[in-house]
Structure formats: structure tokens, C-alpha cells
Amino acid sequence: MFKMRSLFTALALAGSVSVAFAWETLPTEAPAPADNATTAEKVELGKMLYHDPRLSSTGTVSCASCHNTMLGGEDNRPNSMGVNGQTGGRSAPTVWNSAFNKVQFWDGRAASLEEQAAGPVTNPIEMGMKSWDDVVARLKTIEGYQVAFEAAFGKDAISKDNATKAIAAYERTLITPNSPYDKYVEGDKAALSAQQVRGMEKMAELGCTSCHSGPAFNGPGAFQTFPVMSNPYFEAQYHFKKDKGLAEVTKKDEDEHLWKVPTLRNIALTAPYFHNGSVKTLEEAVRLMGKLQLGKDLSKEEIADIVAFLDALTGTFPKQQMPTLPGTSGTTFN
């Protein structure tokens, strides 16, 4: 269960309306679905699969290539690079705290981590395998995976369903609690600077937290329109509307420019910003959000305060011990 430690009152200056907003700390464990309880064996198998480039057609790209757990959970590139040097049109979202997303992918087309884990493997630009049948056939030839799947799921368990369950189980361990913000909400008033507290209060006052709420700062609902405000000047620079978001999947006009509300956790580490990775700095991202989502021209001081607070959302990263991948004896797949 999400823990609510303190309640702060922010004054919404427009109309001087007093608004109560709950600041919540990040749980240290993520809930798992009923059909995929988290076990040590699943997590270890999932870690192996997540870091294994042999799940790609060229043997060069793994999940970790674009969602690097040695960094902020992504690759700090505007557009991630897949097999044969191909790049797509979107920036890789962070895997850290993805267990708390209501939907997955920028366009929210996957309802769960399990569903998300299946997609990149057969995407021709990302990992490029022709089918999951080919992936399963490859895994079955690797003795170490036969052992690992059996430990996690039982005999003859190598399948797409179990592979994605294992990857999802591993991803549910990628949680970054105990940020300065969390410590502050828990009662340590020295955890944030005066500037960071101003930024925290300013976010609530402006209405940023109407979308970026909850323990992971990713909102009460799954989707939000971006950009809300039309601005030809910024559109010419950043091309936000070139990609239609959820409508690219559903082909419905009403879904145009709907995006998953991204977490603000560890956002200081995940530049560049927005779905197309077109914004290089956090300061510019805050300025644009004020203008395009709230219709406000934020001052330099307000932007600096908010950025200072966002820096305080960088949490404690669990130590990652890289797996030893099961080898193949005297053969290669490529």
C-alpha cells in the first residue's frame, strides 16, 4: 500500500483558493499481479534475460541497452538505437519505478510490465527478432536457461509468457525510495533546502501535481494530453505534435497527443526530455510545461526553485549485481 506521511496545504494563487494536497512517499516494494508473484528465482532469471543481447536478432541489443540500470534507467539519447544502428522516433522512458506506472510505453499501449516486455523483442527497429517462437527456440538451446526457467517456473517452462513474467518480476525490484523528498515527507525537515521547499510548494500552487501526483509523481490517471496549449513557436523548435501519441496505435482522432504521464522520480538523471527527446535541459522542460500545459510564463526564479525540488526526487538506487549469462558451447547464433 502507498504510504501517506504528511499533508501540506498549498495556496492556489489564482482566486486564492486553499487546496489540500497529499505528498506521498515511494513504497519500497511494488505490487505484483496474482498470476506472477515475485520470487527470487523469477527475478534472477528476469535479470539474465533483461541483460542478454541474444534476445535480439543481431546479438547486440538487450533491454538494458536502452534502459540502463547503471544510469537513470534509460540511455540519455533523444532516440534509442536498436539493431543495425536503427533509431525510432521516441526517447526511452526510464525503467526505474516503472512498476508504479498505470500503463507502459510512452503511448500507454501496454497495460502491464509483462505486456510491455514482449514488445521490443520483436520490434524491427528495436531488437528485431522475427517472432517470439524464434526467441523461445533460441533459449531452449541454451542449457543454462533450461535450468533457470525450471527453477523459476518448473519443468519445460521456456515460453514467451514465462520469459516476459520473469523480466517483469525483475523490473518490479527496480525501485528508488529514500530520496531527499521522501525523507522530508517522513519528517526530516533538514532533508530539503529552502529553495527545494519553495519549488515543492510552487508545483502544488501552479497545479503541476494535478497530473504528477502520487508516490511516483505519475498521476491519478493513465493519460494526459500534451501539449494542451497550441504554440507555433515552440512547435517549430521541438515538433511535439509530429507524433500523435496513443492515436498512432488506436487510429482514433480523440486519442491524438495523449501520452502516459511520466514519473518525475529521478528526472534529473534522464535528460533529454519529452516523448521525442527534443529538450536537452530540465530548466527548459519546466519552462515548456508551464507554458504549454498551464498557460503560464514562469520566472527564472520559479523555474530554478522547481528544478531544485525535482533534483530532490533522485532516490536511492538498489545495488545491481550483473548476472553471469548462460553460455553456449562452441557455437554462435549469428
Cβ 66 vs Cβ 277: under 8 Å? no
Give me the residue label for grid cell 494535478.
210
Contacts 24+ apart (CB under 8 A), 133-140: 135/55, 135/160, 135/163, 136/160, 136/163, 138/54, 138/55, 138/333, 139/163
Judge if the upstream peptide bond of residue 27 is cis by omega within 30 degrees of 0: no
Q: Which three cell numbers stand for residue 11?
A: 495556496
> Catalytic amino acids?
126
Cβ atoms of 274 and 284 closer than 8 Å = no
Q: Are 27 and 3 in contact (CB under 8 A)?
A: yes
Return the number of other C-beta atoms located less than 10 Å from residue 330's C-beta.
5
Distance from C-alpha of 152 to C-alpha of 138, rounded to nearest angstrom: 18
